[in-house]
Amino acid sequence: MTDALFEQYKDALRRGHVAGLQGRLDAAAAAYREAARIAPDRSLPYVGLGGVLARLGRSDDSLAAFAAALQRSPADDGAMRGRADVLAALGRRAEAAETLDHLADIFERDGRVADALDASRQALELAESRGRRQHVERLVAGVRTAVPNDPAAAEALERAARLLDSVPKVDPRGDPPGLGDGGEIGGLSVPSATPDPALLTLALEEALEAGDLEEARQRALRAAEAHRAVGQFHAAVDACYQALAIQPADPDIHLLLAELYLDRGWRGPAADKLVLLGRLSQLTDDSATRERLCHLAAATFPDDARLTAICA
């Protein structure tokens, strides 16, 4: 880049920053796009553009801008934080947490352990899991050792300690909270009317660690249903995939996935899922599964010739 182009690039970035601070969001977006045209290999204009588009409520465009920034600079912390914020605002908490997990790993690799702790703590706040809790606990110990007298590190430690104290742990001796009769986990009463997806996820991990695959499968299904009940689509699908890893041919899981696809408006994948399940039920002579899928097919795909043939 020539000196003249570099000056134009800096001026466009400056105009974008100033317009953003003044609330002139359309002008800020235009300036960031200009900077991106001048220096298409740089991530900073896309980070700025992603932030402005998020403020304009254009979430999909914002995510695309942050993706463009990460294509150019995979370790750009501004792009990852922006992406996580947008995903969280959309209710896609599991994806936001995964982005923050990645950011924490980058910070830890670069020796920024206090920043890593903050990112990992935010991921745990978004999507509780045993692995994330253990990561936060490990980073707490690392920060105490590496930066014992740093004020910023002390604040990160305090925030992490509050979260670790506030998030309930699963009592392996108790029944997991779910969609059944309720129960008590770690001293916390969980009524059946209000299943807690985070606690169900922890209960699933307990069963997996204990090697009880059938219990883990049942808990994965309960977790998927609980996530679905509170509108956490991606987390519900993730729980289904965990259950499929235990029992790939389980019709309950495939039916739930079809329903989740329908919730999302993905009619094509839902129909394909029902067709495959229908053929499997024919091969295994599973009349109960066939009856259930045909009931769903009649309500949602009355004109699909494939399903009509299966259910005839």
Is the model's pLDDT at 168 over the cut of 50?
no
Segments making up each domain of the chain, as ranges: 1-91, 92-167, 170-248, 250-312
Give φ, ψ of 110 to 5 degrees.
-85, 5
Domain made up of 1-91: CATH architecture: Alpha Horseshoe (1.25)
Q: Which two tokens stand for residue 75?
A: 């370790």
CA dihedral 86, 88, 93, 95 (to 10 degrees): 20
C-alpha 306/C-alpha 204 separation (Å) is: 36
Q: Which two tokens stand for residue 272?
A: 């394909």
Tell which wins on pLDDT, 53 or 175.
Answer: 53
pLDDT tens by residue, 130-144: 778 888 889 988 888
With contact defined as beta carbons under 8 Å apart, do 49 and 29 qualify?
A: yes
What does the angle CA 21 – CA 24 – CA 28 come to, to the nearest 5 degrees? Answer: 80
Give φ, ψ of 184 to 5 degrees.
-130, 125
Lowest mean pLDDT: which of 9-18, 35-44, 197-206? 197-206
CA distances from 184 to 54, 171, 195, 226 (A): 40, 8, 12, 17
**pTM of the shown model:** 0.59
What's the CATH number of domain 92-167, 3.50.30, 1.10.3470, 3.30.2450, 1.25.40?
A: 1.25.40
pLDDT value at residue 195: 55
Is the model's pLDDT at 177 over the cut of 50?
no
CA 202 to chain centre: 16
pLDDT value at residue 169: 47
pLDDT value at residue 8: 93
Q: What is the mean pLDDT of the segment spanning 21-46?
A: 94
pLDDT tens by residue, 81-90: 999 999 988 8
Q: Examine domains 1-91 and 92-167 and report if their fold is the same.
A: yes
pLDDT value at residue 220: 85
Q: Which two tokens stand for residue 38?
A: 């001048």
Is the model's pLDDT at 194 over the cut of 60?
no
Tell which wins on pLDDT, 151 or 33.
Answer: 33
Tell which wins on pLDDT, 201 or 116.
Answer: 116
pLDDT band at 197 (very low <50, low <70, confident <90, very high): low
C-alpha 196/C-alpha 94 separation (Å) is: 15
Q: Helix (H, G, I), strand (E, B), or coil: what is residue 107? A: helix
pLDDT band at 156 (very low <50, low <70, confident <90, very high): confident
Q: What is the mean pLDDT of the segment spanning 19-25?
A: 91
